[in-house]
């Protein structure tokens, strides 16, 4: 048998797709499957395809020479520290600097309450790890961030979605859902929310609702996980006040340097009440011992020596121009039955297709026409959302964005004609969470 298989390769390199250990996995791993749309996105990353799918920050806008010098200087001057293990909670100086960054959103905190994590994605993982047993309830906006839904699924949480409109989560729906779940004897572990420049919704929770959400959760004793990687990337005026600014005991705040500096450093953080912070540090140590001292010190050095506020302004202007390009092109080219949100910051527009169209079914045709987006089904834990799609404007240049919308509008018009001719809805029954992978998160 080995001889039959052996065409000059050793068995270890043959890459068999048969999994000999299929019945040995933990129950939580059975839901971890690559979605079928991953294969399509491999095609979508070809240069001829305009990708309105990826959520990748435009790191080319950074002064890369300066970053190179900074990194080299770090190794030369502080190598023995930068290349050594660090503490589970993270570099103390960086934690103080993180507090300076959060002050821009009205948060008063000390570095002692911060845990530095491998991106805010790891903070999400650690929070879920310390709070969730299989079957526990997590509340999240519908739609919600695909990476968070993947984490909740991995820990076998039951996600209950709360509806949003163009002003963010609906406080009445939140209150009703909490009441219904508590009455049914299903305790809620936390509310996971992205109040500012939502991924994928592109909307921001307004000021009045912020207070309502805080009040509702405080009354019900529901912890809030505020995920805020885009908060400093607003296009108009000052940053929004974070939820955490008005309730230090009831909110765990997650932040990240991925969008304001670069995701390659993988530096994010959690700001948590003391008791939760202690558990996070222990969970962090059991996961990775300590974060990379090297990237933490590099980020610290960047904050200490470079005009980081100016750099954020550069990013904001760049993304504003791209947001405008996307919104103008949608206005000019999309059939009138298609609607979309108008983000005031962040990376994403959430579009709604006419009745009877299914974004996941349309995707292969769109990719054939050289344009890609993320179907709405990835952003709901129950696979609903088929009439929606996420369009991101962070990565392609404005001209490419316009060309992408032109192609997409053509595909949607054809789909509408097919629907009108055959009179049937192509909406399929979707199940589970599609996790398209890190570059598309």
Residues that bind ligand PLP in the complex, under the rule CB under 6 A? 55, 119-121, 145, 147, 194, 199, 227, 229, 256, 258, 263, 268, 441
Nearer to ligand PLP, 145 or 380 (CB): 145
Instruction: State phi, psi for 285 to the nearest 5 degrees.
Output: -65, -40
State both tokens at 431.
């199940």
CB of 424 to ligand PLP, least distance (A): 35
Please say whether the beta carbons of 364 and 411 come within 8 A. no
Structure tokens at 181: 């779940």
Q: Coil, helix or strand for 191?
A: strand
Of 254 and 334, nearer to ligand PLP (C-beta) is: 254
Alpha carbons 344 and 228: distance in angstroms, whole number: 14
Nearer to ligand PLP, 171 or 255 (CB): 255
**Cα 85 from Cα 210, distance rounded (Å):** 40
Chain residue at closest Cβ approach to ligand PLP: 119
Strands (E), 135-200: 137-142, 158-165, 168-169, 188-193
Nearest distance, CB of residue 44 and ligand PLP, angstroms: 17
Q: Whole-number minimum distance, CB 431 to ligand PLP, in Å?
A: 23
CA atoms within 13 A on the CB side of 52: 37
- Cα-Cα-Cα-Cα torsion 188, 130, 149, 266, nearest 10 degrees, comes to 140
> Nearest distance from residue 253's CB to ligand PLP, in Å?
12
For the CB of residue 148, give the shortest distance to ligand PLP in the complex, in Å.
6
For residue 351, the minimal CB distance to ligand PLP (Å) is: 18
Whether residue 235 contacts residue 316, with contact meaning beta carbons closer than 8 Å, is answered with: yes
- Provide, rounded to whole angstroms, the least separation between the CB of residue 372 and ligand PLP: 17
Of the candidates 395, 374, 372, the residue with the CA atom closest to the CA atom of residue 147? 374
Distance CA 257, CA 209 (A): 27
Q: Are 274 and 113 in contact (CB under 8 A)?
A: yes
């Amino acid at each position: 048998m080995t001889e039959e298989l052996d065409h000059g390769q050793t068995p270890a390199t043959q890459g068999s797709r048969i999994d000999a250990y299929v019945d040995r996995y933990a129950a939580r791993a059975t839901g971890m499957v690559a979605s079928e749309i991953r294969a399509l996105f491999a095609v979508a990353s070809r240069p001829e395809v305009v990708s309105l799918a990826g959520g990748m920050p435009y790191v080319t806008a950074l002064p890369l020479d300066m970053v190179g010098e900074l990194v080299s200087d770090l190794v030369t001057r502080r190598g023995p520290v930068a290349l050594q293990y660090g503490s589970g909670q993270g570099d103390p100086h960086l934690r103080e600097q993180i507090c300076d960054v959060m002050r821009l959103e009205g948060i008063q905190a000390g570095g002692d309450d911060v845990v530095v994590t491998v991106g805010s994605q790891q903070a999400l993982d650690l929070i879920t790890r310390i709070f969730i047993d299989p079957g526990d309830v997590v509340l999240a906006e519908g739609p919600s961030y695909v990476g968070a839904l993947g984490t909740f699924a991995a820990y076998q949480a039951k996600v209950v979605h709360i509806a949003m409109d163009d002003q963010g989560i609906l406080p009445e729906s939140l209150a009703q859902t909490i009441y219904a779940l508590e009455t049914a004897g299903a305790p809620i572990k936390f509310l996971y929310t992205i109040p500012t420049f939502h991924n994928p919704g592109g909307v921001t929770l307004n000021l009045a609702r912020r207070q309502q959400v805080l009040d509702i959760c405080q009354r019900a004793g529901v912890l809030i996980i505020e995920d805020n990687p885009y908060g400093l990337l607003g296009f108009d005026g000052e940053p929004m006040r974070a939820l955490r600014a008005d309730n230090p005991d009831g909110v765990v705040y997650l932040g990240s340097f991925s969008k304001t500096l670069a995701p390659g450093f993988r530096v994010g953080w959690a700001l948590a009440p003391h008791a939760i912070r202690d558990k996070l540090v222990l969970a962090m140590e059991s996961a990775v011992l300590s974060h990379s001292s090297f990237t933490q010190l590099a980020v610290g050095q960047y904050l200490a020596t470079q005009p980081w506020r100016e750099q954020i302004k550069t990013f904001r202007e760049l993304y504003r121009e791209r947001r405008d390009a996307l919104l103008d092109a949608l206005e000019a080219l999309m059939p009138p039955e298609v609607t979309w949100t108008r983000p005031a910051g962040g990376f994403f527009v959430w579009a709604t297709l006419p009745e009877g169209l299914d974004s996941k079914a349309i995707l292969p045709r769109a990719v054939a026409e050289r344009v890609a987006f993320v179907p709405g089904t990835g952003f709901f834990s129950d696979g609903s959302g088929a009439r929606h799609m996420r369009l991101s404007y962070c990565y392609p240049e404005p001209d490419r964005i316009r060309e992408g919308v032109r192609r997409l509008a053509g595909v949607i018009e054809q789909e509408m004609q097919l629907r009108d001719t055959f009179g049937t809805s192509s909406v399929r029954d979707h199940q589970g969470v599609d996790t398209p992978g890190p570059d598309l998160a």
